[in-house]
Structure 1
Amino acid sequence: MKVLYAQSGGVTSVINASAYGILDEAQKAGLEVYVGIHGISGVLKENLLKINGKSIDGLKYTPSAAFGSCRRKLKSQEDINKLFEIFEKYEIEYFFYNGGNDSMDTAWKLYTEAKKRNTPLKVIGVPKTIDNDLPYTDHCPGYGSAAKYVAIAIMEATLDLRSMYVDSTRVFVMEIMGRHAGWLVAAAGLGWLNGIGADIILFPEVPFNKEKFLDKVDETIRKKGYCSIAVSEGIRYPDGFFVADMGYTDSFGNRQLGGVGFTIAGMIRSELSLKTHVAIPDYLQRSGRHIASRTDIEEAEGVGRQAVKLALDGISGVMVTINRISDNPYKIEYSTIELNKVADKTKYLPEEFHKDFEVTEKYFKYAKPLIEGELFPEFKNGLPNYTIFKEVDG
């Protein structure tokens, strides 16, 4: 029996831990294992890599998509037919797709096609996204580590600002990923658990009110002398338009966003005449493996192993989910949800997790277990020794 695994969408610092869980569990079951290089795009080109016999232990400590990712939706029956020709050629019986909302749509289409063709192919979705916006799961692998990165980054930047504000920069703005849901930008408030975090958080769920925002900045400056701000790339005006719409769409059909940090900083400079500094962590927040959460790493591997167990039990057409049983002690269990209930759906930051420009105690209770613990990579020459598959290049 043969397995095909592929990675899709925006990467995380722990997606390869899921890959490790799937590939290791499948090989332990005696299966022949292939990976698609650059996701479904690579599979369509028959760009497959056989894993059996290769060293995969380092995957657990390596960020980003070790086998290459893609941003491609299945839009034509021609592509679907081509994929099933490849599945038949390589005798693939199990397909695991590791991704977010759009990736689950791809998995759902392949599952429904397999049923229509009455083939034995089993399709399982494996969740990952730093956005934490997949419904029917308490949280998503990738979020805890990205949240930890954001929390630490804003803490350290705010300490820098606090040191220099007297006759230098008064306002620091950090632009955080998150198109529709404010889960990741909310993490900028986690530093308050240890005494310092973002003074103002701008959530995409809350329509941006320029006057109210500037009043809050002015109030914070008068109170403290400085102000640190975390802004989601996806904030919108009350009419629904993005504050930082770049005017075109990506390959998934999403509006391309960018530069909201500079837009916000420009408002502050022009209206309040304050010196500002802007930082955009961008890829760093989703690939910061050096400070990844142990909880996140272990759960990422766990959903991968669970996916293989489900497939071997004959289950198909589902995504693995994480159910929280308790907060203290923190305890979870794995379950499933039908792929079509997740595909192209978004879970927003609940209103009870934020108020005005801050996160609430309920958010602290939710997020704290997800960022706890560390599992550092091996270091060599003073740097992380990450696993790199040469087959991904070229």
Structure 2
Amino acid sequence: MNRGRLLYAQSGGVTAVINATAGAVIETARKHKVEVLAARNGILGALREELINTSKESRAAVAALRHTPGGAFGSCRYKLKAPEQDRAPYERLIDVFRAHDIRWFLYNGGNDSADTAHKLSKIAAEFDYPLACIGVPKTVDNDLAITDCCPGFGSAAKYTAVSVREAALDVAAMADTSTKVFVYEVMGRHAGWLAAAAGMAGAGTDDAPQLILFPERTFDEAAFLERVKATVARVGWCVVVASEGIHYADGRFVAEAGGTDSFGHSQLGGVAPHLAARVKDVLGFKVHWTVPDYLQRSARHLASATDLAHAQAVGKAAVEYALAGHNAVMPVIVRSSDAPYRWKIAPAPLAKIANTEKTLPKTFLRRDGYGITDTARRYLAPLMRGEAPPPYGTGGLPKYVALKNAAVAKKLPDWRR
């Protein structure tokens, strides 16, 4: 039996398939007879010594994580400062790891999580503590460097494209006497991957969404309103998909609400209602809008089968890398072919991933700036392919699992900051 325990934690906004990754981590570790602890609410749980003993969970419960959305152990938005600015949290983490004989740490998240795992691997080396730190990819924004895509994105992309297509049928049916313009807001602060995914809802120029607003392009309100007006005149109605992060030429977000979140990012206040108000006030059209928000990342009922496979594969590989002695790496997805779609998992250094944001390639953006190219479609299509519905109960609702999340006894004084 391997000596030591493995600690798994979830970070940032959860996805429809992050629990599938968690399940793969636990199942793979069990095959190697390694005990898995989970941090309650991400890195905060590790700091607070709030650890969960996953060995108390049945095999069936762990398997059910495959189809259960949310974050089974709780997640958090909490960014550790650099060790030279605040060393105490890192020292506390090493103390917790020593107390519970944790030799492998898997942090399932995005850019900031990769950064945390990378820094922690360096601190452990300074303390001469044997710890392997593995970043596990997850984000609906699809903005991690090196990996071809991020687990969580494919399902959010599928949900977005399906929702836009279905809503467009509604708008088209009502346009003669009611709504002429529909504005759909998607997540994406600096990277327009979900906005691009919305483009998969239609194929022709006049198919919805007729206009997509990307954060990679400067927003010009006058030009936008003119395009809306022309589209309604030509088609009879118009569906607009807007990334939450669209900005003006001076860099200001169109929907900046003031204040920042725990990662230091500007809070965005809702670009869809803003654009809808401008269309109504300037053009006089009846407008409806929506901000799906959490629905984009929690819609497990519409998950992509490809995305689910990715999520499970990175969880399995993360454990195998850790037990094989890898450190400060992330299992990433490497694409070798679009059609047929072929991919594999490979290790990549966290130093090249942490805090590096991958935006849409210029080749994915249509020349007029309001749509996607065939190159983008070839990239997106396989990520959204396949269905992986959850089991349904007699009441017509999905059957999800709630874990016991039995706490591990604390051994250290409470963490206070």
TM-score normalised by the chain length of structure 1 = 0.98
Secondary structure of 2:55 counterpart: coil
- Equivalent residue number for residue 206 of structure 1: 217
Aligned-residue offset at 1:254: 0.5
- Equivalent residue number for residue 272 of structure 1: 283
Q: Deviations over 1:284-310 (max 9, x none)?
A: 001100000000001100001001111
Q: Aligned pair 1:157/2:167, yes or no?
A: yes
User: Superposed, which structure 2 residues align to 1:291-330 within 5 Å?
Assistant: 291-330=302-341
Asked if the contact 2:52/2:406 (under 8 Å) is kept, the reply is no
Q: Deviations over 1:142-164 (max 9, x none)?
A: 00000000000100110000000
Measure the CA separation in 2 of the matches of 1:83 and 1:242: 37
User: Superposed, which structure 2 residues align to 1:169-188 within 5 Å?
Assistant: 169-188=179-198
Aligned-residue offset at 1:245: 0.5
Q: Aligned pair 1:259/2:270, yes or no?
A: yes
Q: Deviations over 1:93-143 (max 9, x none)?
A: 110000001111111111111121222110000000000000111100000
Q: Deviations over 1:362-393 (max 9, x none)?
A: 01000000000011111112101111135499
Q: Which amino acid aligns with 1:386?
A: Y
Measure the CA separation in 2 of the matches of 1:212 and 1:324: 37
Stretches of structure 1 lacking an aligned partner (at least 5 in a row): none
Measure the CA separation in 2 of the matches of 1:236 and 1:322: 31
- Equivalent residue number for residue 140 of structure 2: 130
Q: Aligned pair 1:106/2:119, yes or no?
A: no
Q: Aligned pair 1:35/2:38, yes or no?
A: yes
Q: Aligned pair 1:26/2:40, yes or no?
A: no
Aligned-residue offset at 1:196: 4.4
- Runs of 4+ in structure 1 off by over 2 angstroms are 193-197, 389-393
- Equivalent residue number for residue 389 of structure 1: 403
Asked if the contact 1:63/1:288 (under 8 Å) is kept, the reply is yes
Q: Deviations over 1:264-301 (max 9, x none)?
A: 11111111111100111000001100000000001100
Identity of aligned residues (%): 47
Paired residues in the alignment total 393
Asked if the contact 1:14/1:300 (under 8 Å) is kept, the reply is yes
Asked if the contact 1:177/1:184 (under 8 Å) is kept, the reply is yes
Q: Aligned pair 1:63/2:97, yes or no?
A: no
Aligned-residue offset at 1:62: 0.6
Alignment match of 1:282 (pick from 285, 288, 293): 293
Asked if the contact 1:68/1:392 (under 8 Å) is kept, the reply is no
Q: Which amino acid aligns with 1:44?
A: L
Q: Name which of structure 1's ranges 226-235 and 254-263 shifts more when overlaid on structure 2.
A: 254-263
Alignment match of 1:226 (pick from 225, 230, 237): 237
- Equivalent residue number for residue 9 of structure 1: 12
Q: Which amino acid aligns with 1:22?
A: V
Measure the CA separation in 1 of the matches of 2:295 and 2:402: 18
User: Superposed, which structure 2 residues align to 1:39-50 within 5 Å?
Assistant: 39-50=42-53
Q: Which amino acid aligns with 2:397?
A: L
Q: Aligned pair 1:91/2:101, yes or no?
A: yes
Q: Deviations over 1:179-207 (max 9, x none)?
A: 00000111111011599431110000000
Q: Which amino acid aligns with 2:11?
A: S
Measure the CA separation in 2 of the matches of 1:218 and 1:102: 41
- Equivalent residue number for residue 227 of structure 2: 216
Aligned-residue offset at 1:53: 3.9
Q: Aligned pair 1:54/2:57, yes or no?
A: yes
Q: Which amino acid aligns with 1:134?
A: L
Asked if the contact 1:95/1:123 (under 8 Å) is kept, the reply is yes
Q: Which amino acid aligns with 1:209?
A: D
- Equivalent residue number for residue 388 of structure 2: 375
Measure the CA separation in 1 of the matches of 2:406 and 2:110: 21
TM-score normalised by the chain length of structure 2 = 0.92
Measure the CA separation in 1 of the matches of 2:207 and 2:256: 31
Measure the CA separation in 2 of the matches of 1:136 and 1:64: 26
Secondary structure of 1:33 counterpart: strand
Q: Which amino acid aligns with 1:304?
A: G
- Equivalent residue number for residue 117 of structure 1: 127
Q: Which amino acid aligns with 2:143?
A: D
> CA RMSD, aligned part only?
1.3
Secondary structure of 2:343 counterpart: strand
Asked if the contact 1:67/1:392 (under 8 Å) is kept, the reply is no
